[in-house]
Amino acid sequence: MKKNNKTYTKKKVAQKDKYLSNLSSAIVLAAKEDKTLAKYISEKFLGRDFKFSKNVKAGEYAYVLMPSSTDMAIRKFDWLLELENEEALAPLISWSKSYEDEQAKNLVVGIVGMAIPGVTLGIIKKRFTMNFLIKKSSVKKSALVNIGIKSSTNLLSRCIKKVNGNTNKLEPELYDWLHGDRDVQFFDLENNSISDIGNMLTELGVDYVEIRQNTKTIGYTISPVVNDDFFHKYKKISL
């Protein structure tokens, strides 16, 4: 039994590391399109000595984790940096070393060694959503609300357990969802393969919960960290 527990723990750690690496890659993708974010990251890394510096390519699905705004990208980057997981930061470290924006270089001259304060955000502009991908044909519409409550509570409980009950350490989107209106949206998987979606979520390493009917998986509850653009290709289910 102990051996099985160790194996399970190793799998959980590997899954978390995979997610953090994909998130780091997603922030790199955002920084390539956002000069403000790029400069912020460059300033934060200035003067740091990283041992882990290999070139890392973005994961196949990293794009679905791209933050929704500059402010959120900065919050996500700061959250990632606080974890002090250098291997997870590898994509960002690799990118920052090749970053050649002269304006950013000039901006940070003279502040080596100084602590750069985090960005103070005002009112939360974007409402984050807990999304559900489900085979509409497999469940009665009247049952969706109960499925949503049970499944989202399960996912939230897992995530809170990971941060030892300290909700302030939750990932920014999930934190905002918890302290906001807790919006949920259902999307119909229609003819899309459930196993393909499951494989993608596993590859990303994101937090999700399987929605099961008896012993059959009919959908997934997905953390708000996956950006809304990913769900646009699915038909929304009205409650």
Last-in-domain residue among 107, 139, 160? 107
Claim to verify: residue 103 and residue 25 sit in the same structural domain: yes
Domains: count for the chain: 2
pTM above threshold 0.85 = no
Task: Record the tokens describing residue 214, joined without a space.
Answer: 């008896």
Per-residue pLDDT tens digits for 92-143: 888 887 764 444 344 434 333 333 333 333 344 578 899 999 999 999 988 9
Claim to verify: residue 135 and residue 217 sit in the same structural domain: yes
More confident residue, 49 or 182: 182
Claim to verify: residue 41 and residue 80 sit in the same structural domain: yes
Claim to verify: residue 200 and residue 103 sit in the same structural domain: no
Residue 123 in domain: no
Residue 115 in domain: no
Claim to verify: residue 142 and residue 210 sit in the same structural domain: yes
Claim to verify: residue 70 and residue 154 sit in the same structural domain: no
Domain membership of residue 50 as a residue range: 2-107
Q: Distance of CA 1 to CAs 9, 14, 15, 92, Å?
A: 12, 20, 21, 39
- pLDDT of 154 over the 90 cut: yes
Claim to verify: residue 99 and residue 166 sit in the same structural domain: no
Task: Note the pLDDT of residue 89.
Answer: 87
Task: Note the pLDDT of residue 17.
Answer: 82
Q: Distance of CA 96 to CAs 66, 162, 181, Å?
A: 17, 29, 36
Specify the CATH number for the domain of residue 200: 3.40.1490.10
- pLDDT of 50 over the 70 cut: no
DSSP letter for each residue of 4-71: HHHHHHHHHHHHHHHHHHHHHHHHHHHHTT-HHHHHHHHHHHTT---S-----PPPTTGGGG--SSHH
Mean local confidence (pLDDT), 161-178: 93
Claim to verify: residue 136 and residue 224 sit in the same structural domain: yes
Residue 113 in domain: no
Claim to verify: residue 154 and residue 233 sit in the same structural domain: yes
3-state helix, strand, coil in the chain (%, to 5): 50, 10, 35
Residue 50 in domain: yes
Last-in-domain residue among 107, 141, 169? 107
Residue 117 in domain: no
Q: How far apart are alpha carbons 4 and 10 in whole angstroms?
A: 10
Residue 22 in domain: yes
- Tokens 């559900």 found at: 132
Sorted by sequence, the CB contacts under 8 Å of residue 161 that are 6+ apart come out as: none
